[in-house]
Amino acid sequence: MNIRILGCSGGIGAGLRTTAIRVDEDILIDTGTGVGDLTLDEMRAIRHVFMTHSHLDHAVGLPLLLDTVFEARSSDPLLVHGRVETLDALRKHIFNWVLWPDFSVLPSPEAAVMRFQEMQVGGSVELGGRRITAVDVNHTVPGLAYIVEGNGKVFAFSGDTGPNRTLWQALNELPRLDVLVVETAFANRNLQLANESRHYCPDTLAADLGTLRHDPDIWLTHLKPGAEDEILGEVRAALPGRRLQRLVGGETFTL
């Protein structure tokens, strides 16, 4: 199982891409601006997209991806998985013929290039020996974390979330956890903003991560541009016994 980080920033700027993670050659988790770093052939190889939630920094690449690979998907639709609330938001606010054409009915409803697949909280999808499980998280819109299991190894991605019990309970129930990518959007000086927008800051992340019984490699994602070093330093100070790194994009993990 190969994990490639296409985008992981909490904003944009030179060299910064928003959230998109490729699993092997055929799966994307979220479709932020990082999708634009895929080649045409790599885009054509994507068969499944798993959306954590509907916010633009995680969804903006999906309509452009579909437009780019339209002909390749005409006989093999892209399957977009997510909570019913996320899929409804995509229908209403992106694929609405105002912001973008509705690719769920193009070139025809019977042969559309995109199909939505609802994921239930706690539900799993089996794809070629890999299992992707959806976990409820705490964000301003309904969201999911994803646990990806394959080849005896386990990778987890928090999506966007603030303090919660559901993710950590699900992780603790796993027999193992090799890599955890977890958001930490704000520095501690922005604690109130983090709480209001339901994101982690170092102190709130440390409180929840302290309950994790596994000892994975931990990578921090979704850091606000300009505050990356501050956030990483605060998390390391709060969790000195954990193996912590900051994602910068372009990293690959082979599990």
Report pTM. 0.97
CATH of domain 2-247: 3.60.15.10
- pLDDT tier, 198 (very low <50, low <70, confident <90, very high otherwise): very high
- Decide if pLDDT at 75 tops 90: no
DSSP conformational letter for 33: G
Return the closest-CA partner of residue 37 out of 56, 53, 19, 52: 19
DSSP conformational letter for 223: P
CB 1 within 8 A of CB 254: yes
pLDDT value at position 183?
98
Model pLDDT for residues 76-91, shown as the tens digit of each residue:
999 999 999 999 999 9
Model pLDDT for residues 228-249, shown as the tens digit of each residue:
999 999 999 999 999 999 999 9
DSSP string, 57-87: HHHTHHHHHHHHTTTTTTTSPEEEEE-HHHH
Domain ranges of the chain: 2-247
- Decide if pLDDT at 139 tops 90: yes
- Decide if pLDDT at 74 tops 90: no
pLDDT value at position 73?
87
Name the average pLDDT for the chain.
97
pLDDT value at position 20?
98
Burial 167-202 (b: 16+ CB within 10 A, else e): bbebbeebeebbbbbbbbbbbbebeeebeeebbbbb
pLDDT value at position 180?
98
- pLDDT tier, 51 (very low <50, low <70, confident <90, very high otherwise): very high
- Decide if pLDDT at 28 tops 90: yes
pLDDT value at position 72?
85
Q: Please calculate the CA angle 230-207-186 and round it to the nearest 5 degrees.
A: 30
